[in-house]
Chain A
Amino acid sequence: MDTLADAPRAPLLEVKDLKTYFFTRWGTGKAVDGVSFSLGERESVGLLGESGCGKSMTSLSILRLVPRPAGRIVGGQVLFQGRDLLRLSEEDMRRVRGRQIAMILQDPLSTLNPVFSIGDQVAEPLRVHRIVPRSGIRERVAKLLSLVRIPAPESRLKDYPHQFSGGMRQRVVGATAISAGPKVLIADEPTTSLDVTIQAQYLRLLKDIQNESNLSILYITHDLGTLARICDRVAVMYAGKIVEQLTVEDLFERPAHPYTEALLQSVPRMDRKVHRFPSIEGSPPLVHALPPGCAFAPRCPRALDICRREFPPVTKLDNGHSVACWLHAKDPHDSALAGSQERP
Chain B
Amino acid sequence: MTPPLLEARNVLKHFPVTKGLILGGNIGWVRAVDDVSFRIDAGETLGLVGESGCGKSTTARLVLLLEHPSSGEILYEGVSLQEMSGDDLRRYRGTVQAVFQDPQSSLNPRMRVGGIVGEPLEVNGGLPRGDVRERVAEVLRNVNLDPAFARLYPHEFSGGQRQRIALARALVTHSRLIVLDEPVASLDASIRSQIINLLKDLQDEHGLSYLLITHDLAVSRHLSHRVAVMYLGRIVEEGTADTLYAEPLHPYTKALIAAALPVRAGTPDDTVVAGEVPNPMNPPSGCRFHPRCPLAMARCAEEEPTLRDVAAERRVACHLF
Contacts and interface: CB of A to CB of B under 8 A. Distances in A.
A271 B245 CA distance: 9
Interface in B167-211: 188-194, 196-197, 200
Contacts of B191: 283
Contacts of B218: 267-270
B264 interface: yes
B147 interface: no
Interface stretch (B95-103, B106-114, B126-134, B269-277): B269-277
Interface string A208-236: 00000000000000101100110110000
B51 A196 contact: yes
B105 to A, nearest CB: 17
B217 A196 contact: yes
A217 B218 CA distance: 27
Specify the main secondary structure of chain A where it touches its partner.
loop
Interface size class of B (residues with CB under 8 A): 35 or more
A249 B266 CA distance: 10
Contacts of B272: 197, 200-201, 204
Interface stretch (A75-83, A101-109, A178-186, A273-281): A273-281
Contacts of B20: none
B219 interface: yes
Interface string A292-305: 00000000000000
A232 B264 CA distance: 10
Contact of B190 (A231, A232, A266): A266
B158 A283 contact: yes
B265 A50 contact: no
Specify the main secondary structure of chain B where it touches its partner.
helix
Interface in B242-297: 242, 245, 255-266, 269, 271-274, 276-277
B221 interface: yes
A89 interface: no
A252 B261 CA distance: 13
B259 to A, nearest CB: 4
B266 A2 contact: yes
Nearest to A204: B272
Given A50-B189, A277-B197, A280-B194, 8 more contacts: A166-B52, A195-B277, A197-B255, A200-B269, A225-B261, A273-B242, A279-B190, A284-B190
Contacts of A271: 261-262
Contacts of A167: 276
Given A195-B277, A232-B265, A268-B218, A200 B193 contact: no
A222 B188 contact: yes
Interface size class of A (residues with CB under 8 A): 35 or more
B188 A200 contact: no
B256 A196 contact: yes
Contacts of A270: 217-218, 221, 245, 257, 260-261
Contacts of A51: 188
B266 A263 contact: no
B31 interface: no
A262 B276 CA distance: 35
A276 B188 CA distance: 17
Contacts of A278: 193
Given A222-B188, A268-B219, A270-B218, A204 B193 contact: no
Nearest to B252: A197
Nearest to B195: A279
Contact of B160 (A252, A263, A275, A283): A283
B12 to A, nearest CB: 24
Contacts of B158: 283
A5 to B, nearest CB: 12
A152 interface: no
A54 to B, nearest CB: 14
B264 A249 contact: yes
9 contacts: A50-B190, A200-B272, A201-B272, A266-B189, A269-B262, A270-B221, A274-B222, A276-B200, A278-B193
A126 to B, nearest CB: 27
B315 interface: no
Nearest to A230: B265
B215 interface: yes
Contacts of B190: 50, 262-263, 266, 279-280, 283-284
A106 B253 CA distance: 26
A139 B2 CA distance: 68
